[in-house]
Amino acid sequence: MAKVYKDLREFLATLDQEGQLLRITDEVMPEPSIGAAGRAATRMSNGPAVYFEKIAGYKNPLVTNAHGSWQNHALMMGMDKDTPVKEQFFELNRRWDKYPCDPVIVDRAQASCKENVIESDINLFDVLPLYRINDQDGGFFLSKASVITYDRDEPDNLGKVNVGTYRIQVKDVDTIGIQALPFHDIAIQLAKYERRNEPMPIAVTLGNVPLITFMASTPIAYDQSEYSFAGALQDGVPVEITPADTDPHLLVPATSEVVLEGYIKPRVRTCEGPFGEFPGSYSGARNQCEIKITHITHRTNPIFENLYLGMPWTEIDYLMALNTSVPMFKQLHNEGFPEVTAVNAMYTHGIGTIIAVKPRFGGFAKAAAMRFLSTPHGMAYGKLVILVDDFVDPFNLEQVMWALTTRVLPSKDVNLIHNAAGMPLDPSSYPAGMTTKLIIDATTPVAPEPNPRPVALVADPEGTEEWAKTLAEISAALGK
């Protein structure tokens, strides 16, 4: 049984024990220190979390980059921190099949997120050490919240309780803006309230068990439960949730550090942004939704968890890497293409995707690419698709480059699909949301496609695996 964390604090304790958390004990100014440290941490080979104990003018501490490395990602899953990415991918696939593992609803008295309550004179700055993440952001943003909403027409349907990550700008001491893009689940729910001109109940939760945060940014079907997936990814250990104080249908993680409760103002849009976004560029100002916060609960001495995002890779890339790859793999492998052996959809949330496939006949790999490009996520995000043979590790970019350089005849293997759907935040899409899809088939030709110059692959010399173990043992001994 893999290690499972009951709250963010247990996860941080493990990161600390494993040398994956750095404590900053000196007082820092919020700008530019916190954003800069988050940026710098992601460039370190071990990508540690950074915990700020004292932030000038604020009461509470902050942690950033908690998910920001493959080591931390492995520890999130309770695995050895040195687990290779491909092994993490297959372990996530194994646990994925444990869905649904429904959450346990606990009483208010058992929920640590209720330790403190603020019902009047709401001021987010009293609870959260807010800061500007990137210099040209239009304000202070929450970049790592798990936002809870439900379906107005089916309030008791757990599958339609949505847990999502959206960018949130602090507009006032009790008012925040939120970006609900039309293809996000929250926008489907919002439309139902706005047709009735009713406020939409919402809870913004911060500092959660790491696999809830992970699932909040995972693309799954509208009627699938992020909580039931989080339990599955905890290897079958359910997560604990509890009703929000202001609305019993808003089910929030029981151990959140902070829960902001309130409502989206119906039919209101106000100026929001710019914000340095995950493609590594700013998205400009737009008129977006606004939330009034009416009630806060929080743990004693709450830890504000937030992330840096900018030019990849940053912490956010780890929260849309394997959790984009696994559902894409499932939708191909389990639904018509068992010949797809792995999917690496880690590049800018799947805008760039590498599919490993064992083609059965000529043109087969290209068909797998088109299948990916017609999944709900691949349709909007997928732009650059590379197909490699099944014996190429799609998570090993050196192997992928080998396939591109030795398997691609550009005149026949590079294909463009014009005037297709795209991701509006991709600055190369034009107009925003329209793009050209690129499919590069780097698999070995299979009949009836001609392969006029077949090659004999060079195999590893006999004894390579044994030598790998021997050399690793010598290296480890030297390290001691």
Partner 1 sequence: MNCPRCDSPKTRVMTKSPVGDVWEVYVCDVCAYSWRSTEDPKVWPTFKLKPEQIPNLDVIPAIAPLDPDVSV
**Residues involved in catalysis:** 277
Per the DSSP assignment, residues forming a β-bridge with 172 are 175
For residue 176, give the 3-state DSSP assignment.
Answer: strand
Structure tokens at 209: 């068990």
Residue closer to partner 1 by CB (options 32, 362) is 32
**Which C-beta is closer to partner 1: that of 270 or that of 294?**
270
Q: Find the binder of partner 1 among 9, 132, 265, 292 (CB under 8 A).
A: 132
CB of residue 170 to partner 1, shortest distance in Å: 7
| Cβ nearer to partner 1, comparing 23 with 269 | 269
What residues contact 271, with CB distance under 8 A and at least 6 apart?
138, 285, 286, 287
313 scored as a contact of partner 1 (CB under 8 A): no
DSSP assignment of 415-451, as one string? EEEEEEE--TTSTT-SSTTEEEEEEEEESPP-TTS--
Stretch that binds partner 1, among 39-47, 280-288, 336-344, 413-421 (CB under 8 A): 280-288
Binding-site member from 15, 74, 170, 342 for partner 1 (CB under 8 A): 170
Question: Could you tell me the smallest distance in angstroms from the CB atom of residue 46 to partner 1?
Answer: 31
How far is residue 347 from each of residues 213, 321, 395, measured CA to CA in Å? 19, 7, 11
* Residue 270 within binding range of partner 1, rule CB under 8 A: yes
Opening angle at CA 431, ends 427 and 432, nearest 5: 50
94 near partner 1, rule: CB under 8 A: no
For residue 58, state whether it binds partner 1 (rule: CB under 8 A): yes
Q: What's the DSSP call for residue 199?
A: P
Taking CB under 8 A as the binding criterion, the range among 57-65, 102-110, 291-299, 357-365 that sits at the site for partner 1 is: 57-65
Q: Is 189 in the site for partner 1 (CB under 8 A)?
A: no
Residue in 161, 119, 146 with CA at minimum distance from that of residue 248: 161
In the complex, what is the shortest distance from the CB of residue 298 to partner 1, in angstroms, rounded to a whole number?
Answer: 14
Close Cβ partners of 463 (under 8 Å, ≥ 6 residues apart): none
Closest to 62 in 3D by CA, of 21, 95, 93, 96: 21
The answer to whether the CB of 46 falls within 8 A of the CB of 28 is: no
Restricted to residues 109-128, the positions that interact with partner 1 (CB under 8 A) are 123, 125-126
Among 70, 89, 140, 318, binds partner 1 (CB under 8 A): 140
Binding site for partner 1 (CB under 8 A): 29-31, 56-59, 123, 125-126, 132, 136, 138-140, 169-173, 177, 179-182, 187, 190-191, 194-197, 267, 269-272, 274, 282, 284-289
